[in-house]
Structure formats: C-alpha cells, structure tokens
Amino acid sequence: MRYFEIFISIHIIIIPDIARYYDIEKMYDVIIIGAGPAGLTAGIYAVRRALKVMIIEKTAVGGQILLAKEVENYPGFGHISGKDLADKMGSQARDLGVEIIMDEVMGMDLKREIKTIITRENQYRGKAVIIATGGIHKKLGIRGEKEFAGKGVSFCATCDAPFFKDKIVAVIGGGDSAVNDALYLSEIAKKTYLIHRREHLRAEEVRQKKLLERGVELILNTVVEEINGDELVDSISIRNVKTGEIKKLDVGGVFISIGSVPSTLMARSAGVEVNEREHIVVNKDQETNIPGVFAAGDVTGGIMQISTAVGEGCIAALSAYKYIKNHSRQ
C-alpha cells in the first residue's frame, strides 16, 4: 500500500511537469527563431502553406529595423519609420495565424528528426527550424552613442544617408564596409570624414584611392571619445592616439561602421556550421548543414538589407515546407 501511495504522489508531482514540456500543443511544423524581417517573412510564407508556425523573439518584434528612424528604400513604402514597418510586418504575420511569443532560447537539439527548442519558459518541438537571429552592430561604447541613436548616430549608411544631405558627417571604421559607407555618403553629404584608429585602412587599395578622388578626408590614428549634441548630434570629440591631442569636430551625423557580430552562439553550440566570420553557412535554398534546419537574414552575412532578409526568409520558408512534405511521405 505504501508503494502505491508513493507512486501516486510521484505521478501527481511529475506528470504535470512532463506534460508542460511534451504537450502535443507544443508541437509545430516550423519553429522560427527571431522576429526580424527574415523571421516574419518566413512565418508569413510558411503559414500560408498551411503549416503550424511559431516565432520566438527575445527582445522586440521587428529586430534591427526598429533602429531605423526612417526607411525609404523598401518597395511599396516611399517613407515609413522602422517601427511602423515592423508593426505592419508583425500584424500581418499574426493576422495570418503565426504564433509569436516573447521568450529567450536557451538551448537547441537540432540533429534529431524532431527538433527541440528550449526557452526560459517552455520547451517546443518542430519538424523544421529556421534561424533568423540576425546580428548586432558593434558599438564604440562611448558617451553619446546610445543617447543619439536615430538622432544623428546611425549604423546603416545605406538606410539613413538621404537624411544627411548637405550635412557634414563622419564615418568611423577602417574596413571595406566603412570605406563603402564613406564613398556612398560623399555623394550625398556636404563633407565626409573617415576616422580610423590605425595609420592604415584595411579596405582594398582601389577603394581607398576612390576616397581621395571623392574628396573624403581621412583622419587616421584617431579615436572618437564622445558624441556631443543637444537634441541632435552637433560634434564629436576625437583623440589622436599618437600625440594624445583632443579636439572637437563639427559634424551633423556619425556613421559607426566597425562591423557586426552575428547572433550564432546558440546555433553553433547545436552543431550548425558557421564560417570564419561566424555567419551561418547556407546554400541557395537557405539550408544549413543539418537537415531540416534553415537560416535567413543578417545571420547568414551578405548584403544586410531589409529586402535581402525578406527574400531569404521567403526561400527558407518554402524550403522548409518542401522538407516537411518530403519527409511526411516517407
């Protein structure tokens, strides 16, 4: 009798917890990690294929586009804020039946036929997984960088350059992306500086030559100490690393282009292949090295634009649909 009572007690305590993690309602066709443009697009295309879809997002629906004060290069919207575009994308996904939850992924088991995603709040299973975790722009970590984001500080010249027409701007960085940003801005801004902490740029020599042809002024061996302004950026404090001299430089915009870090740590831990820059390696169908696991958007590298993310999200969703249907026939 005592053993029976113990069994009943264990049953009452443990079974509900097991049910919490293995409830059939927690089973999905496609689980998407990340609710930026790539993830939301993947969700829209997948749910329209009559798949049961869930998106898990750690911070806010929209991803990096929430940082864009204005978006003018996305087809169909001549002028829209990043937040409004994100809201429209999120609403469309939800209206079509995509389940979006706010939670943080803590672990993934991707190598089994049924994938398992462990979050802070629950555990979910899916037949296919799309990783759309994006990337994080590297920050300078200086005063004014956060305070003036969207108010003169930008991490995307392609997105925001038109707002700085006929203004004086500074690009921070020394690689190809920084040089490309400076070249692009030189066609729009009144004056463009390129500030790099070392004596030589890392970008291609051909592109460095174009900087001089375009009138971009190089400020080398220099770091930015502080971004200044009232409501908007009006200057930066810079320091020469060799002489120690500190001075102010009047600018109306600061473009920080020192690279980005893809959010791939969890994926790498689960066995997803990444390249030397830690971007997820995919083929033309957005497939990773693990069957049933796809990736889309900034997390794969390439041209980091909303349009690119949307395209990759679409391909990933259709590839996931094909994968699920092929496996259901086996």
pLDDT digits (tens, 9 = 90+) for 72-117: 788 998 888 888 999 999 999 999 999 999 999 999 999 999 999 9
**How big is the chain, counted in residues?**
330
Q: Is 4 helix (H, G, I), strand (E, B) or coil?
A: helix
Statement to judge: residues 168 and 34 lie in one domain: no
Q: Is 298 among the residues known to form the active site?
A: no
Catalytic, out of 84, 95, 103, 160: 160
Is pLDDT above 70 for 193?
Answer: yes
Do the domain assignments include residue 164? yes
Residue 120 is part of a domain; what is its CATH number? 3.50.50.60
Statement to judge: residues 37 and 130 lie in one domain: yes
Q: What is the number of structural domains in the chain?
A: 2
Side chain identity, residue 80: I
Bridge-based pairing state of the strands 293-295 and 53-57: unpaired
Q: Could you tell me how far CA 81 lies from the centroid of its own chain?
A: 17
Q: Is 160 among the residues known to form the active site?
A: yes
Spatial CB neighbours of 63, under 8 Å, sequence gap ≥ 6: 34, 35, 36, 37, 39, 86, 134
Is pLDDT above 60 for 151?
Answer: yes
Catalytic, out of 23, 103, 159, 230: 159
Q: Is 29 among the residues known to form the active site?
A: no
Please state the pTM of the whole predicted model.
0.71
For residue 115, what are the domain limits? 2-136+260-328
Centre a 10 Å sphere on the Cβ of residue 246 and count the other Cβ atoms it contains.
11
